Structure 1
Amino acid sequence: MDQSVERGRAATAAVAPLYAFVVNGGGDNVSVIGNGVLGTATVDVGMNPWGVAVTPDGTRAYVTNFGSLFHQEWLSVIDTGTNEVTANIDGDFSHAAGVAVSPDGTRAYVADNGGNSVSVIDTGTNTVTTTITVDNAPQGVAVTPDNRWVLVTGLAFSSGSQLGTVTAIDPGSLSVFDSFLVGDTPVGVAVSPDGTRAYVANNGDDTVSVIDTGYINGTWNPVIATVGVGSGPVAVAVTPDGTRAYVTNYGDGTPWSPSPQDGGPGSLNDVSNTVTVIDTATSTVIDTITVGVGPVWVAVSPDGTRAYVTNYLSGDVSVIDTATDTVIDGSGGPGWSTGMAVTPDGTRAYVTNSGPDNVSVLATDALKTTSTVDVGDHPYGVAVHPDGSLAYVTNVDDGTVSVIDIDVIGTRDSAVIATIGVGSYPMGVAVSPAGTRTYVADHSDDTLADLAVIDTATDTVIDQVEVGFGAYGVAVSADGTRAYVTNEYSDTVSVIDTGLIDTGDAPVIAAISVGSYPHGLATDPLGDPRLYVVNQNSDTLSVIDTDTDTVIANVGVGAYPQNVAVWWDGSRAYVTNTDDDTVSVVHTGMLTVIATINVGSSPWGITMNPDGSAGLAYVTNRNDGTMSVIDVFTDTVIDTVAVGDNPVGVAALSAPGPARTASHNT
């Protein structure tokens, strides 16, 4: 394998949920982490999809395809159960923009920007039943919860001037009832849950108009407040309790256009990256949140705990915790992301991507602790069987290994099916690629330590191999013929011929001198002759050629490093640095640090997404009881998950089905 190979992003596909097992040394238990992988599906639709709305029962999503200057498009209907397009509604649209579904789900309203009209769709037959002429080149559309008004934003023209207006349509008569002025170039519109207020983002003058829907009567202008926000607002969303409105600020320059083929952001002089938070009781700005580049659309989860923002130019989705108004997560995307809608159950978000002409389906549950398994006293290391059925946890203070049946976690009182006595102070643990043996490093302060070898079929210790002083970590080669043990007090790595175990012959065939206080170690997942050893007191990563059992490089990393994991293709090694709260990314071809990632407090254990499909690394942070999730394609933290007290070891697998190649470090 070419060690200088660059990482390539995995192809877009449905990815199986991931599970991580985090050992909580302070809680004598193991946290089981479930992951709803962001970007679980991609649905191809028409040209330049723009708006999206989901029916109240969550079964369908309606997507407008804006088209281009010379190409008209249709309305795509997605079955949310299968994430497939089940219908394309040809309404003779000329640049379909915003879309909204009635509260009873029987109608969809489409703002036809080029046709100066609103099309009414019968959702039972997926046909256009009525076309309502408006005079304002409509952009956004919203329906009040009581089905009293359909509100449509757009630009009207009078005596050569362009005026920002909102048109109020009566759903009963399907006719225009009123039209009134708002700010310059209105785009997005949202209605409060009680229907008494509507909020309009005015892209041209950096304001939000607040409308009292009770004053829509054809006589008075119902705008009761104008709130200054950020640069170039595009969309607005209101929390379910009605207390806050979130506004995306796209940027200054020529008024924003939904179509990249029509110019869109290319004419902007100053692209923004903020979301404004408005207190709806006082109509004042209470916060400004930094998100991705060119934020366009925003949607709030049904429970009000999250706001999701599509970032048009950085091609990602920012997830905002509405309790703290901070970005807590993000998902990479194809770019040109525009509209967004969240399903009524809050489990998925549909994002329109006008560049690649598709819709991304995002799972919103993200990572969370789904179960906790009680094990022995002071658990430390964890490793998963290659077939994904069992997890092995070392318990330092009672000298045992707990065997967890993964399939029954959460279904009965205890998932521990065996407890194996192994020695006085077990720490590191690894399972052979064939799954027939588990190797446990039995640490000792004053005598030569042992490597306990467990027969996984009988859950019994079949050999105790004497290694160096202070055995700590253990790793197994990809072909299973060698086991490697770091010895803290000897500053060595013991090399064990696994074919000599339980034969009466001495299986230790070499002792390799490394740096001071070697801790975690990892082999190359694809079988290349490389072993990576973290030296705690030297602040280095030793790189060993396993064909010659010699150190070929010592790479300087962060302060007080603990453990290492290698990406599935062997191109990167990730090292946790406890004293500076970072992870060093080492390019294994150049043998140098190419990135440093800030994580939680006192990072300790680390493991990689087993098969590389999701591109994740998991890091336990001892001092703050969390696990950091790293996107290895961008080398950024995309999630932080609360786990237990003093988390140390971590291992991961893919589910359902067997895990493939994984690094298990303590």
Structure 2
Amino acid sequence: MTERLIVLNKDEDTISIINLETKLIEKTIETDHNPHEVIITPDGQKTYIACSLGNKINIIDNSRFEIVKRIEHPDFDFPHGLGLTKDGKKLYLASTYSEKIFIINTTTDEIEKILPTFQDKSHMISFSPDGNTVYVPNIGSNNITVIDVEKEEIINHFPVGPEPEGIAVHPNGHHLYVANQGDNTLHVIDTMTYEVLFKRRIGGCPVRLVFSPDGKYALSANRESGDISVIETQQKINGQVRPWEIKRVPVGIWAGGTVFNDDGSYAYVANNKTNDISVINMSTLKEEGRIDAGIHPDGIAYLKQSN
């Protein structure tokens, strides 16, 4: 098996395919303008890239790492967040400034449905672990839009902190974590009631949030403080069980896209302004090294393929 990172270099309009054994760039792919976010289909066959200032989706065939198709629409206006249904048959795309969610058939790669959120700056897509619900943070409206995946309908909006961007649902399905860049806080929210259960102060301008595969840790990439907040999701202390920030790991400048490998032993953080990837050992919770990338790496994905 070969492990790779797919890294989007947003200010040189390229993708770096990085071999994690050699820590070297195997291939560089030219993209449309300003690639920001990336997602790989569950079968590992295709990669979707949101090119935000180019207003296109680039589709890569992972057997040869080449762009094979582009998706465009007049209402793409800074297409950004991406998410896939559990079966991989539908791609959800958040278009930030048109404030619309596009639902795309991944067999035909055609847009099937468009859902206006009527909120300000609908930016990211986050699926619940069971695949039944999508959560969309609206940076300008300070709230979250909730989409029923089976019905393909918006069913709710609920308030959070100022300028929410980083978002993910714990693998247990019960807790939604939202990072609010406007006041540098983390909200832990009950997914049934939308009640804020905990508020935590984290690093400066948190922009991405991911869980380890086992749910033990949440990592928040903090753009302005140059570090990663490590939240232990069930810290036990004095008879209490609570989510708690246990460490901030220094990384490069402008930490952004963050991803785990498949067993959760390592996390990889794209550092926009140092043009590299931080390698975080999750056993020691320390940066173990850096991997060079292109100019301003941001979106990042992990791919494991048979040789």
Partner residue of 2:188 out of 259, 262, 277: 277
SS of structure 1 residue aligned to 2:42 = coil
Unaligned runs of 5+ in 2: 235-241, 289-307
Identical positions, percent: 30
Give 1:210 shift: 1.1
Unaligned runs of 5+ in 1: 1-56, 156-161, 217-221, 252-271, 368-612, 615-666
Aligned match of 1:130: 69
Alpha-carbon separation, structure 1, partners of 2:95 and 2:216:
31
Aligned match of 1:347: 265
Aligned match of 1:149: 90
> What is the correspondence of 1:322-361 to structure 2 with a 5 Å cutoff?
322-323=233-234, 324-361=242-279
Aligned match of 1:94: 33
- Matched AA of 2:120: D
CA displacement 1:176-220 (0-9 Å, x = unmatched): 01111222101221111211111111111111111111112xxxx
Is the counterpart of residue 226 in structure 1 residue 157 in structure 2? yes
Q: Is the CA contact 2:166–2:220 (under 8 Å) kept in the aligned structure 1?
A: no
Aligned match of 2:127: 191
Please state which structure has a larger fraction of its residues in strand.
2
Partner residue of 1:288 out of 199, 203, 216: 199
- Matched AA of 1:173: T
Is the counterpart of residue 113 in structure 1 residue 31 in structure 2? no
TM-score scaled to structure 2, two decimals? 0.86
Partner residue of 2:151 out of 192, 215, 218: 215
Give 1:366 shift: 2.0
Alpha-carbon separation, structure 2, partners of 1:239 and 1:81:
29
- Matched AA of 2:145: S
Q: After the TM superposition, which of the residue ranges 242-251 and 309-318 deviates more from structure 2?
A: 242-251
Alpha-carbon separation, structure 2, partners of 1:58 and 1:238:
28
Alpha-carbon separation, structure 1, partners of 2:54 and 2:61:
19
Alpha-carbon separation, structure 2, partners of 1:246 and 1:85:
33
Specify the structure having the higher radius of gyration (Cα).
Answer: 1
Give 1:314 shift: 0.5
SS of structure 1 residue aligned to 2:125 = strand
Aligned match of 1:165: 100
Aligned match of 2:80: 139
The count of residues paired between Structure 1 and Structure 2 equals: 277
CA displacement 1:121-172 (0-9 Å, x = unmatched): 11111000110113222011111121121111113xxxxxx54111111101
CA displacement 1:247-267 (0-9 Å, x = unmatched): 11112xxxxxxxxxxxxxxxx
> What is the correspondence of 1:14-413 to structure 2 with a 5 Å cutoff?
59-67=3-11, 72-91=12-31, 93-134=32-73, 135-136=75-76, 137-155=78-96, 163-182=98-117, 183-216=119-152, 222-251=153-182, 272-323=183-234, 324-366=242-284
Q: Is the CA contact 1:307–1:319 (under 8 Å) kept in the aligned structure 2?
A: yes
Q: Is the CA contact 2:2–2:19 (under 8 Å) kept in the aligned structure 1?
A: no
CA displacement 1:94-141 (0-9 Å, x = unmatched): 111110111111111000111211111111110001101132220111
- Matched AA of 1:284: E
RMSD value, Cα:
1.7
Aligned match of 2:299: none
SS of structure 2 residue aligned to 1:325 = strand
Runs (4 or more) in structure 1 with deviation over 6 Å come to none
> What is the correspondence of 1:539-618 to structure 2 with a 5 Å cutoff?
none
Alpha-carbon separation, structure 2, partners of 1:124 and 1:297:
29
Aligned match of 2:237: none
SS of structure 1 residue aligned to 2:263 = coil
Alpha-carbon separation, structure 1, partners of 2:84 and 2:18:
21
Give 1:58 shift: 7.8
Alpha-carbon separation, structure 1, partners of 2:270 and 2:175:
25
Q: Is the CA contact 1:207–1:228 (under 8 Å) kept in the aligned structure 2?
A: yes
